[in-house]
Chains A and B, each alone.
Chain A
Amino acid sequence: MIYKYLTGILTLILALNLLFSCNNKLSVQTMQYATIGQKLYVQHCQNCHGAKGEGLGKLYPPLTDQKFLEENRDKLACIVKNGMAGEIVVNGEKFNQAMPGVPSLTNIDVAYVLTYITTYFGNSTTHFTQEEVIQMLKDCR
C-alpha cells in the first residue's frame, strides 16, 4: 500500500518536473523580465502579432521565427521603439507592411518586452539588459 502511494508521488513529481522543465533554464531575473514584458506585449504588440506571436495572415509577421530573432537580435530594440518598413522574410514568407514603433517605451520597457518575445516565442534563455538596449538604440538606422 505504502509502495503504491510512494510510486504515485514519484510519478507526480516527475510529471511536474517535465511540465516546468522548459522554464528551469531561465534565471529568476529573466523570468521577472519576461513576466513584466508580457503585460507590455499585450498592451502594445498583441493586437497585430497575436497572443501566441502567431501574426495574422500575410499582414503581420509571426514572432516565432527563431532564426530571424537570433540573426536580428541587435536590431530588435530599434524595431520595437521606432517601427520598421520594407520587405522582410519571416518563416519563409514575405511581409511588407509598415509597423509603427512604440516610442513611449522606456529603455527598460524595451528590455522587458524583448525578453518576453525571445524567451516565450523564441528559445532564448537570457534576458535583455537595459545597457544592451541603450547600446542598440544608439545604432538605429
Chain B
Amino acid sequence: MKKIVGLASFTLFAGLLFQSCDNTERKLPILGEATVEKKMVDGKEVIDSIYPTIPDFKFLNQDSVYITQDFFKDKIYVANFFFTHCPSICPTMQRNLLKAYEKYKNNPKIAFLSHSIDFKYDQPHVLKDYANKLGIDNDQWQFVMGSKADIYGISEKYLVYTKEDASVPGGYDHSGYLVIIDPERRLRGAYDGTNDEQVTKLLEDLDVILNEYR
C-alpha cells in the first residue's frame, strides 16, 4: 500500500513537473526577419534584434467608427483578410475563427480583426449585417474597411497575400491566414484558416501566448 501511494505521488509530482515545464517554457516564435541593432547599455555594446511590427492604422469598422491600433492596446489579437460575398475560402475561414471567438468570448485580452479587401462593396452597414448574421454581438471582433492602398498595404505587414483579380471567383484573390499579433504588435503565428488541424493549433497557441502576457 505504501509503495502504491509512493509511486502515485511520484507520478503526480513528475507529471506536475513536466506540465509546468511545458507551460512556462513553450513560447510562440516571433515571425519575420529581424534587423540587428547595436546599442550601448552601461558602457557595453549590446546586440538587439528588432522584429517587424504592425504599423499604425486607422480603419472604419462595422459601427462606422474609426478603429486604430489603440483599440488593440495590451491585447493579443487575431487578424485576417476576407470579403462578405466571398464564395471561396472565406466562409470556412470565418467559421473557424468563430470557434476562437466563442472560446475567448468576453476575455478582455483577446480580440479579432477582419479586414475586408472588397473596398467597393463592403461599407460599414454591409459589414454590420454580416457580423450580426455570423452571430457577433460584442465589439471583441472588429470588421473593418479602408482604401485599397491602406488595406492591401497593411496585408503585407501581416504577411498575407491579397490581390484584386477579375479571373478568380468573387473578384479578389487572397490567402486565408489567421495571424496572431502580440501586445507589442509583433507577429507570433500564422495558421491556415481553412485547415482544421491548423485551427486546432491556433486555439492551443492562443493559450500559450495568453500565458506569456498574463
**Residues of A in contact with B (beta carbons under 8 Å apart):** 46-48, 50, 56-60, 97-98, 100
Q: Which residues of A contact B183 (CB under 8 A)?
A: none
Q: How far is the CA of A48 from the CA of B95 in the complex (A)?
A: 9
Chain A residues within 8 Å of B87, by CB: 47-48, 100
Residue among A56, A58, A60, A97 with the most chain B CB within 10 A?
Answer: A56
Which residue in B88, B89, B133 is a CB contact (below 8 Å) of A97?
B133
Is the CB–CB distance between A59 and B85 below 8 Å? Answer: no
The listed residue (A46, A50, A58, A97) touching B135 by CB distance below 8 A is A58
Complex CA–CA separation, A56 to B132 (angstroms): 12
Besides the known contacts A58-B132, A58-B133, A59-B91, 16 further A-B residue pairs in the complex with CB atoms under 8 A apart: A47-B87, A47-B91, A47-B92, A50-B95, A56-B91, A56-B95, A56-B98, A56-B134, A57-B134, A57-B135, A58-B134, A59-B130, A59-B133, A59-B134, A97-B133, A100-B87
Measured between beta carbons, the chain A residues less than 8 angstroms from B132 are 58
Closest to B136 in A: A57
Chain A residue with minimal CB distance to B86? A47
Q: B98 contacts which chain A residues (CB < 8 A)? A: 56-57
Q: How many chain-B residues does the 8 Å CB contact rule pick out?
A: 16
A77 to B135, CA, bound (A): 30
Known A56-B94, A56-B95: A47·B89 in contact at CB below 8 Å? yes
Chain B residues whose C-beta falls within 8 Å of the C-beta of A58 in the assembled complex: 132-135
Cα separation A59 to B85 with both chains bound (whole Å): 10
Q: In the complex, what residue of chain A is closest to B88 when comparing beta carbons?
A: A47
Highest count of chain A CB atoms <10 Å: which of B85, B87, B94 = B87
The complex places the Cα of A56 from the Cα of B84 at a distance, in Å, of 13
Q: Mark B94-116, 1 if CB is under 8 A from A, else 0.
A: 11001000000000000000000
> Closest residue of chain A to B90, judged by CB?
A47
14 CB contacts below 8 A, A to B, read A47-B90, A47-B91, A47-B92, A48-B87, A56-B98, A56-B134, A57-B98, A57-B133, A58-B133, A58-B135, A59-B91, A60-B91, A97-B133, A100-B87
A34 to B121, CA, bound (A): 37
| Residues on the A chain within 8 Å of B94, using CB | 56
Which of A47, A56, A97 counts the most chain B CB atoms within 10 A? Answer: A47
Report the separation of the CA atoms of residues A98 and B87 in the bound assembly, to the nearest whole angstrom. 11
Q: Please tell me if the beta carbons of A48 and B91 are within 8 angstroms of each other in the complex.
A: yes
Query: In the complex the two chains form, what is the Cα distance from A57 to B91 in whole Å?
Result: 11
Taken residue by residue from 124 to 164, chain B's Cβ proximity to chain A (1 for < 8 Å, 0 otherwise) reads as 00000010111100000000000000000000000000000
List the A residue with the shortest CB-CB distance to B92: A47
Q: Cα distance A97–B90 when bound, in Å?
A: 15
Collect the chain B residues with CB atoms within 8 Å of residue A98's CB: 85
Binary flags per residue of B182-201, CB closer than 8 Å to A gives 1, else 0: 00000000000000000000
List the A residue with the shortest CB-CB distance to B134.
A57
Among B90, B92, B130, B132, max chain A CB count under 10 A is at: B92
State the Cβ distance, B56 to closest chain A Cβ, in Å.
Answer: 32
Point out the residues of chain B lying under 8 angstroms from A59, CB to CB: 91, 130, 133-134
